[in-house]
Structure 1
Amino acid sequence: MSVISDAPAVAAAQPSALAQRLYRAIWRWHFFAGLLAVPFMISLAVTGGLYLFNDEIDASLFRYRNYVTVGGAELPPSAIVEKAVAAVPGGTLSSYRTPAGADRSARVTVSTGAGKVLVFVDPYDGAVLDTVGAKEEFNQVVEDLHSLDYFGTAWERIIEVVAGFAVVLVLTGIYLWWPRSQTGGVVSVRGTPARRVFWRDLHAVTGIFASVLILFLAFSGLLWTGFWGSKVNGYLTANGMGYPAELWDRVPHSMLVTSDVLPKTAWLMENAPVPASTPPGEGQVALPPIGLDNAVTIANAAGMLPGYDLSPSAGETGVYTAAIYPADLQYERTLHIDQYTGERLVDTAYADYPATGKLIEWGINVHKGQEWGLFNQLLMLATCLVVIAMSLSAVVMWWKRRPKGRIGVPPGPRGGRIYLGLWAIAAIFGVLFPLTGLTILAMILLDQFVIRLVPPLRRLFS
């Protein structure tokens, strides 16, 4: 809920000595957590707020490559792909996105030695509207900055730690905000911007009203993390709460998972195995592969929502995989097609997910601002703005409170029993959120055995 908090107004009744020590301990660790999280919280809020409107950005800033003039008959997918591959010398087809409407372009992802390239093609005349590196496309850059994947996979672990700290900040922030007989700073903001109390109240009051939404964003965001998210995904799958594994029981599997063959997948489906086509056996007449055009025809006939991605078959046992994950969850679908017979080997829709899987996909949809249209976008945007306001107000009130030339960490309590409680909290978070728990543990060790025992550091942080 909050970052780098300041103490609330003095309560009318003096708390007990134990309550005072507990308050000081929580305030100190709320400060430490905020000190670490503030820059990342602002980054997450800014990039997340932008990504909420990725469709609107595509329809305005990049309209020239996403929209076309409706013409006569569309070209066959294979002809569109041929135009796209010819625009990227040395490239090969990675995936094909069908036009999402009569006035939309087709998008072909082409693989090259230097990475993947997106090619936008007019489906009526085959004109190449634009080419851009897959990692350089605007909304992809925003998404990669949001997850810190832009700086490499190792940085993603920081986001997991920060998401865990967001939970810590909410819980400790609620404790610090909790009314203790004071009349101001609970639901109202006192003073003027010239006074520190104004920034303290702004921080606390906005935080308490947005706390549930911030917790929701933290937990749903953790699902995408490389460690915690993958562990949760694996646990759900192993216990029948993930993708509907029974649909794969009757078909042979390849060594690939869905995320290996598609540019984007649903969270629940990313580790679902890709089935294998069955090539002709010895003595059997070899059937020619159905080809891209027939694969698109089969997917269309199956009722796939326009705008789906289709990956080509690779090798003798490869399959065509079509998938779409739109704002309307009822149309979320993944379809695998045998490259020889055209049989739909596995056809999985949102309706097939178990209850837990549906709930998680719904939560992710809300996180991305896709569930209730504009209202959902504005609700999440408001939460992002609150996070920014809380972070900036935290910095301002810290700056007004800190002693000159020092960091001004809230003083720690005396007495070992309080720190036993901190160790217990670290242990709990170590179980629930391992990377966050390890970070808390490192911070406790730094605070107790380095800062506390080294006089220059003790003075700097005091």
Structure 2
Amino acid sequence: MTTTLGAPERLSDPVEPPGPPDTPGRRRPTRLFAGVWRWHFYASFLVVPVLALLAVTGLIYLFRFQLEPALHPDLLHVDPRPGVTAAAFDDQREVVEEALDADGLTGAYIASMTEPRDTESPTRITVTLPDESSRDYFVDPYRLDVLGSLDPDATLSGTAVRLHANLMTGWVGDAVIELGACWAVVMSLTGYYLFVRGWRARRRAARQARTDARVRQTHAVVGAVAGVALLGLIVSGLPWTGVWGAKVQELATTQGTSLWSDDHGGASQPTTTMDESLPHSHAGDVPWGLGQTTRPTSDVGDYTGTVANLDTAALVADEAGLAHPYTTLLPTTPDGTFAVIGYAFDDPGQERTVHVDRYTGAVAGTYGYADYSGVAKVVSQGIALHEGRRLGPVNMALSAAMCVGILFLCVSGPVMWWRRRPKGAGRIGAPRGRMPLAATPALVAGLVVLGVLLPLFGASLVLVVLLDQLVFRRSPLLTRWLDVR
């Protein structure tokens, strides 16, 4: 995006009617409007593909509990047998271990178990394979049969999660997603300016039945509604990011707080955090606030009594009132504990974990939302809203509508440009104009503040200005193609 602009002969104008300034009934766009419009236009080249990807993958994730059973009915559905109760969790663990032996997976071990979501769902047992990858095994609790297994990262929802997080390319993809999110803030703010300034012009264009008037008006209205939710999603999603999230966590830590929370029950052996203990299974992830907490240890001592098992841990969790369905992390060391996580899907306030001593079955420590720092509580609530689960079906419906609205904007914007672009002119058809920075110090201050709050935006803005001054303006071809003035 370059920082200059002026109106082409044919271009879809979200606010001011396009056309030469001396045409009767038409007005030349103001300097501020033209500059804002140009930023909105060029920011879309980065923001549109990023937001389209996030919207599509977000929809898949929202409906994962409907999509995955439909795609894998033989694995994710069981038929309850009348008069037959579900087998003990430890018996289900044993049949999975037998399956691992039968498959020759020496060195693989069971890392966690997630209880069925309902009477028609299987038990999900996550295994860490010798190469440190994960695999979910599904057990029919009524017939005590292993139904099969899936790579959680290779499922539709698993792939969507990884694309949504970092484009499946590690820190590079994470940076691209964060950069797109930062510029989406600019798109939203400039969009609101264009929406307000152009209200009368769009109505006038609609009365005159001008080309694309209805699309422009719909784009503006949908953008005005979706913009608020989009800003909320961006803010609630930033704690995941590698630059903003990591930096804010660092600053929070220096102030004696955290985006996550410190499980004091696990402070005796802070060698393993909860999220490191749980393989990357998209069925029973650690709640956000608990992601960086440490696990307590079992008191090995000289104890020679009965060793606790999954059913012991489940009994303790039930007595403690943990939310269902919960996930149990199995101990992997002699002094490890069973960690039973009550996720509380639609209410982070009910998130709680109970650590169970593997030898005595006693509670080795408990930790939950009530113990979170104030910052961690806010982040946990924001994450639940972001994932469409905080307010139950209402949150899910609104989040789905939001994703659809964003997809409409990502399509309608480019369509308007494509229809009104100056064909055969050797130009991209961008609005021409400069942000009147010298005459609007408040705008400069706003950009500085935004650049500080969003470091990737600030860095990219500096880069764009340098490219504009040192490259684009020195090449006649680029100057014409990019409509630089």
- TM-score normalised according to structure 1 size: 0.87
Q: Does the C-alpha gap of structure 1 residues 261 and 53 become closer, same or farther in structure 2, counting only changes over 3 Å?
A: same
Q: Partners of 2:231 and 2:204 in 1: how far apart?
A: 20
Pick 1 or 2: higher relative contact order, CA cutoff 8 A, min separation 6: 2
Matches within 5 A, 1:302-451: 302-329=320-347, 330-404=349-423, 405-413=426-434, 417=438, 426-451=447-472
Give the superposition deviation at 1:417.
2.4
Q: Which amino acid aligns with 1:166?
A: A
Q: Which amino acid aligns with 2:16?
A: A
**Alpha-carbon contact 2:43-2:183 (below 8 Å) kept:** yes
Give the superposition deviation at 1:133.
0.9
Q: Partners of 1:64 and 1:233 in 2: how far apart?
A: 42
Give the superposition deviation at 1:58.
3.7
Q: Which of 123, 126, 137 lines up with 1:106 in the alignment?
A: 123
Give the superposition deviation at 1:286.
5.3
Once the two structures are superposed, residues 75-105 of structure 1 have per-residue CA deviations (whole angstroms, 9 ceiling, x without a partner) of: 2222212222333431211211122233321
Give the superposition deviation at 1:205.
1.9
Q: Which amino acid aligns with 1:434?
A: P
**Alpha-carbon contact 2:53-2:164 (below 8 Å) kept:** yes
SS of residue paired to 1:129: strand
Structure 1 range deviating more: 205-214 or 226-235 = 226-235
SS of residue paired to 1:218: helix
Partner of 1:81: 93
Q: Partners of 1:186 and 1:338 in 2: how far apart?
A: 69
Q: Which of 142, 148, 152 lines up with 2:170 in the alignment?
A: 152
Runs (5+) with no aligned partner, structure 2: 1-10, 19-24, 280-284
Q: Partners of 1:362 and 1:355 in 2: how far apart?
A: 11
Q: Partners of 2:314 and 2:435 in 1: how far apart?
A: 70
SS of residue paired to 2:113: strand
Matches within 5 A, 1:139-218: 139-179=157-197, 183-185=200-202, 195-218=211-234
Q: Partners of 1:7 and 1:332 in 2: how far apart?
A: 46
Runs (5+) with no aligned partner, structure 1: none
Partner of 2:67: 57
Q: Which of 42, 47, 61 lines up with 2:57 in the alignment?
A: 47
Q: CA RMSD in A?
A: 3.1
Q: Partners of 1:377 and 1:360 in 2: how far apart?
A: 19
**Alpha-carbon contact 2:289-2:369 (below 8 Å) kept:** no
Once the two structures are superposed, residues 177-209 of structure 1 have per-residue CA deviations (whole angstroms, 9 ceiling, x without a partner) of: 2236x52437996666x8143333222221112
Give the superposition deviation at 1:21.
2.6
> How much identity, in percent, do the aligned residues show?
31
Q: Partners of 1:138 and 1:332 in 2: how far apart?
A: 27
Q: Does the C-alpha gap of structure 1 residues 23 and 242 become closer, same or farther in structure 2, counting only changes over 3 Å?
A: same
Q: Partners of 1:414 and 1:367 in 2: how far apart?
A: 33
Q: Does the C-alpha gap of structure 1 residues 243 and 438 become closer, same or farther in structure 2, counting only changes over 3 Å?
A: closer
Q: Partners of 1:179 and 1:455 in 2: how far apart?
A: 33
Are 2:30 and 1:9 equivalent residues in the alignment? no
**Alpha-carbon contact 1:27-1:176 (below 8 Å) kept:** yes
Are 2:276 and 1:260 equivalent residues in the alignment? yes
- TM-score normalised according to structure 2 size: 0.83
